Structure 1
Amino acid sequence: MSFIIKPIIKIIFWISIAILTSCSTSEGDNNDPPTFTTRIIKFSGYEWIVRTSEDKKQGPGPNLFSDSADNVWVDDKGRLHLKIVQRNGYWYCAGVTLKHSQGHKKYVFYLASRIDELDENVVGGLFTYKNDNEEIDIEFSRWSNTTNQNSQFAIQPAAKLGNKYRYDMDLNSTLSTHFFDWKVNEIEFGSYEGHTLNPENDAIINSWTYTGSDIPPLNDERLKINLWLFRGQSPTNSQPAEMIIERVEIL
């Protein structure tokens, strides 16, 4: 009987993984479904699926995404590292997806790296995603233009007037706090110096409240974090790029 049971167990396993990873990532580019991966990490008390595209480029970008421990890992302090690295002449990006939908809540990200100093071709994203028109974003990038501001809050479709708020961030240290509070009729965004939700006035980098018509409905969305290359272009400095998240709170 074992020769029959083992294939059935394998089929059930891969169907389960397919269900868990059915959402793709997007920051305004067209996207492809991520390749299924068996790597799941624990971070901030949650389980996260690590993205891989194997040997095929996928959106956003498009880019190659890797679930290697060189691209995604949790250190001995419990911090999540996402890193863009070059292997065998190819750049590999990084992304994770929260295993379960959380819905209308406040999503807080405590970062521990100088995201204001990312290479101009690198994009760091903190976001919920269901599809390209049901997405809430905090993004760090100059979008391949050194004169652009380096951060933005956005509701997709971001090209629509009023759905995006750009700002500049010039940090004094590696520590910063970013959040969006997703409610039925509004989404509140904020970026602060340090790790706090009660900042002094001089620690408030920027804030924005969105009340437009594109607030995503509850639709089995997933929280995602990624680090990728705009239009798939190599970093201008030819160096690896990293984003460190100390912890995530969902309130």
Structure 2
Amino acid sequence: MSDKVLLLLNLILLTSGLVSCKDKKEEKPEMADEIRQRVLMFSGYEWIAEGYGDNKINPGQNYFSCSEENVWIDKKGNLHLRITKRGDKWYCAKLTLKESHSYNKYVFTLGSRVDKLDRNVVGGLFTYLDDSNEIDIEFSKWGIKNNPDGQFIVQPAHKEGNSYRFKLKPGGKYSTHIIDWEKDKIDFKSYRGTYTENPKKRKIMSEWSYTGEDIPGEDDERVIINLWLYNGMAPSNNKEAEMILSSFRIL
């Protein structure tokens, strides 16, 4: 092989290597590969968004990201949680209240139609210490198209009398959901529209009182808001999903 041919081959290989390096530098890294936290201010409270990189965690054995594509506050002060797809992975969202407030009345006002979520998507509003000390309001069809999509739960959920399911009928983008947690009872309520102290009966979608033996005691519970995929399954419509909260109150 002549020296000219060898020189030409070396130039081709060198050029190819430079292009390859340039391509690698310009590739956008998956933000969720970072295991980190972000602190957000929503409705006057500090919240912590957490990312777990490529580690699957519960609920549902999902990937969770704290990137601004998954959790953010818009210019109007609304909180957005979004399930996004990056590469071949679906990333879910989770936000935890920084401080514990234990026995209290927690009021969540949504600014999106959770009844329109894909059947594999779960939206959660809850207090949590551990899996046995948890009070939930959840929105999901649990993978079944015509399932009731609202539920109130005091864990353990498998125990008879610890859950109550209902059909969401918000009628508009705003709905309000309440956990009123006291020492001897927990009152749940979901109704149409924004917060009001005494909603009209026709606006109430569902309400339930729990007085069983599994009411959590005061401890270091935190309020958590999350959006995740049931059993880690991709949305059946293959579309990203979002839940918006317009306000959060502790009364």
Question: Normalising to structure 2: TM-score of the pair?
Answer: 0.85
- SS state at 1:39 partner: strand
- Provide the rounded CA distance (Å) in 2 between the counterparts of 1:238 and 1:147: 18
User: What are the residue-to-residue correspondences of 1:194-209 with 2, within 5 Å?
Assistant: 194-197=193-196, 198-209=198-209
What are the superposed Cα offsets for residues 189-225 of structure 1, whole Å, 9 maximum, x if unpaired? 0000001332111101110000000000112010000
Write out the 4+ residue segments of structure 1 that deviate beyond 4 Å after TM superposition: none
- Which deviates further from its counterpart, 190-199 or 153-162? 190-199
- Provide the rounded CA distance (Å) in 1 between the counterparts of 2:139 and 2:215: 21
CA RMSD of aligned residues (A): 1.0
- SS state at 2:37 partner: coil
**Conserved in 2, the CA contact under 8 Å of 1:81 and 1:244?**
yes
What are the superposed Cα offsets for residues 129-178 of structure 1, whole Å, 9 maximum, x if unpaired? 00000000000000001131000000000110000000001221100000
Consecutive unaligned residues in structure 1, runs of 5 or more:
1-34
Instruction: Name 1:28's counterpart in structure 2.
Output: none
Instruction: Name 2:31's counterpart in structure 1.
Output: none
- Provide the rounded CA distance (Å) in 2 between the counterparts of 1:210 and 1:72: 32
Instruction: Name 2:219's counterpart in structure 1.
Output: 219
- Which deviates further from its counterpart, 51-60 or 228-237? 51-60
- Provide the rounded CA distance (Å) in 2 between the counterparts of 1:147 and 1:194: 24
Does residue 148 (structure 1) correspond to residue 186 (structure 2)? The answer is: no
Please report how far the alpha carbon of residue 122 of structure 1 lies from its aligned counterpart in structure 2 after TM superposition: 0.3
User: What are the residue-to-residue correspondences of 1:160-179 with 2, within 5 Å?
Assistant: 160-179=159-178
How many residues align structurally? 217
**Higher Cα Rg, which structure:** 2
- Provide the rounded CA distance (Å) in 1 between the counterparts of 2:207 and 2:36: 36
Instruction: Name 1:125's counterpart in structure 2.
Output: 124
- SS state at 2:115 partner: helix
User: What are the residue-to-residue correspondences of 1:4-153 with 2, within 5 Å?
Assistant: 37-153=36-152
The sequence identity of aligned pairs, in percent, is 51
What are the superposed Cα offsets for residues 110-144 of structure 1, whole Å, 9 maximum, x if unpaired? 10000011100000000000000000000000000
Please report how far the alpha carbon of residue 36 of structure 1 lies from its aligned counterpart in structure 2 after TM superposition: 6.3
Instruction: Name 2:238's counterpart in structure 1.
Output: 238
What are the superposed Cα offsets for residues 68-89 of structure 1, whole Å, 9 maximum, x if unpaired? 0000000000000000000011
**2:220 alignment partner AA:** D
Instruction: Name 1:13's counterpart in structure 2.
Output: none
- Provide the rounded CA distance (Å) in 2 between the counterparts of 1:148 and 1:38: 35
Please report how far the alpha carbon of residue 38 of structure 1 lies from its aligned counterpart in structure 2 after TM superposition: 3.3
Question: Normalising to structure 1: TM-score of the pair?
Answer: 0.85
- Provide the rounded CA distance (Å) in 2 between the counterparts of 1:86 and 1:93: 9
What are the superposed Cα offsets for residues 28-55 of structure 1, whole Å, 9 maximum, x if unpaired? xxxxxxx963311111101101021111
